[in-house]
Amino acid sequence: HLGGSFADMMFAAETHPAMLLYLSQQGSVGPNSRFARKRGGGLNENLAREMIELHSLGVGADYTQADVRQLAELLTGLRYHRDRGIFDATRAEPGPETVLGRRYGDKGPASLDDIRAVITDLAARPETARHLARKLVVHFVSDDPPQGLVDRLAATYSESGGDLAVVNAALAQAPELAARFREKARQPYDFVIAALRSLGFTGRQLLDMKPGVFQRGIIRPMALMGQNWGAPRGPDGWPEAAHSWITPQGLAARIHWSAQVLPRLHRVRPEPREFLAAAFGDTASEPLKWAVPRAESVRDAIVIALSSADFNRR
């Protein structure tokens, strides 16, 4: 969905078994549903709250607790079976719900169609356009996002009907992207993948790694760098600010991985100038251009490059 409709992306995410499990939707039951009358059970607002606060409008938007509760009631019945989201009408709260001034479920018992409808409406709201635009600019451009670019991306989102391909193209062509080159810190995932790619490591090689090697060579080192993959500290995901990643401990772990672990993962040693070009193109700083070819060994040249401020920012 990266190049498609945000509404489609949001629907796929909200109805995915991983999301339903993580936000405890599986146990959410309409208080007046057939299931609750026979077996009991209660409403869980986790998914509804994150749909509004994190996945669409944003925390500061104009919504109320009543909107969250009404959305939670509309979502009752949504659960998963094996590898897909399903809708169990016996668990659904009867009657229509009103979310942000719009009624859903008027045509009879609630269904997945009603959930798709509310997600489509959330995705189309101007607050969602602004929230997503700011998140994109913060992630790709700067921790201190230029407001002009945020406004332009929000307008592009609204005008295109949430077409992510159009929004992504506008971001890629924005002059602010080049003007703020290397303002963003590379998160450990970015750092590790960029290092492997610079050395000519392929996706096939990564997929073919034995599980133990992958854990020791990729996952555990990333955790030492501060990013325990698959386990962010909260439902809002990984932090964006540079100070969350550029720490003494985190940098020491990056240097150790570059010097001690990476050579065991990939034994090909490119010529230092070739590696410099692969890693930086023509963007390496003058001190780095001077230092890397003069390193005492190819291994040292790679460690110098990967430990540099140039490489740890993007």
Residue 234 confidence (pLDDT): 86
Residue 95 confidence (pLDDT): 85
Contact 311, 305 (CB under 8 A): yes
pLDDT of 309 strictly over 90? yes
The rounded distance, in Å, linking the Cα atoms of 110 and 303 is 58
Which DSSP letter does residue 78 get? E
pLDDT of 142 strictly over 90? yes
Quote the radius of gyration of the chain (alpha carbons, Å).
24
Q: 143-152: per-residue pLDDT in tens?
A: 999 999 999 9
Average pLDDT over the chain, rounded to whole?
94
pTM score, whole prediction: 0.90
Residue 14 confidence (pLDDT): 96
The rounded distance, in Å, linking the Cα atoms of 114 and 42 is 21
Residue 165 confidence (pLDDT): 98
Query: What band does 235 get if pLDDT is binned at 50, 70 and 90?
Result: confident
pLDDT above 70 coverage of the chain, percent: 100
Q: 44-80: per-residue pLDDT in tens?
A: 999 999 999 999 999 989 999 999 999 999 999 999 9
Q: Which two tokens stand for residue 160?
A: 């295109």
The rounded distance, in Å, linking the Cα atoms of 31 and 37 is 8
| Average confidence (pLDDT) over 276-290 | 95
Residue 267 confidence (pLDDT): 82
Q: 107-118: per-residue pLDDT in tens?
A: 777 789 999 999
| Average confidence (pLDDT) over 270-277 | 93
The rounded distance, in Å, linking the Cα atoms of 271 and 259 is 17
Q: Determine how many CB atoms are found less than 10 A away from the CB of residue 202.
A: 10
Residue 103 confidence (pLDDT): 95
pLDDT of 29 strictly over 80? yes
Residue 253 confidence (pLDDT): 98
Going by DSSP bridges, is the β-strand pair 97-99/102-104 parallel, antiparallel, or unpaired?
Answer: antiparallel
Query: What band does 105 get if pLDDT is binned at 50, 70 and 90?
Result: confident
Question: Which is more confident, 39 or 220?
Answer: 220
pLDDT of 292 strictly over 80? yes
Residues 6+ apart with CB under 8 A from 88: 35, 77, 79
Query: What band does 106 get if pLDDT is binned at 50, 70 and 90?
Result: confident
Going by DSSP bridges, is the β-strand pair 84-87/78-81 parallel, antiparallel, or unpaired?
Answer: antiparallel
pLDDT of 83 strictly over 90? no
Residue 275 confidence (pLDDT): 94
Query: What band does 255 get if pLDDT is binned at 50, 70 and 90?
Result: very high
Ranking 184-188, 215-219, 251-255, 269-273 by mean pLDDT, the lowest is 269-273
| Average confidence (pLDDT) over 150-166 | 98
- Neighbouring-strand partners of residue 28: 42
Q: Concatenated DSSP letters for 6-21?
A: HHHHHHHHHTSHHHHH
Residue 82 confidence (pLDDT): 84
The closest alpha carbon to 102, from 134, 45, 49, 63, belongs to: 63
Query: What band does 84 get if pLDDT is binned at 50, 70 and 90?
Result: confident
Q: Concatenated DSSP letters for 153-191?
A: HHHHHHHTTSBHHHHHHHHHT-HHHHHTTT-SBPPHHHH
| Average confidence (pLDDT) over 26-33 | 91
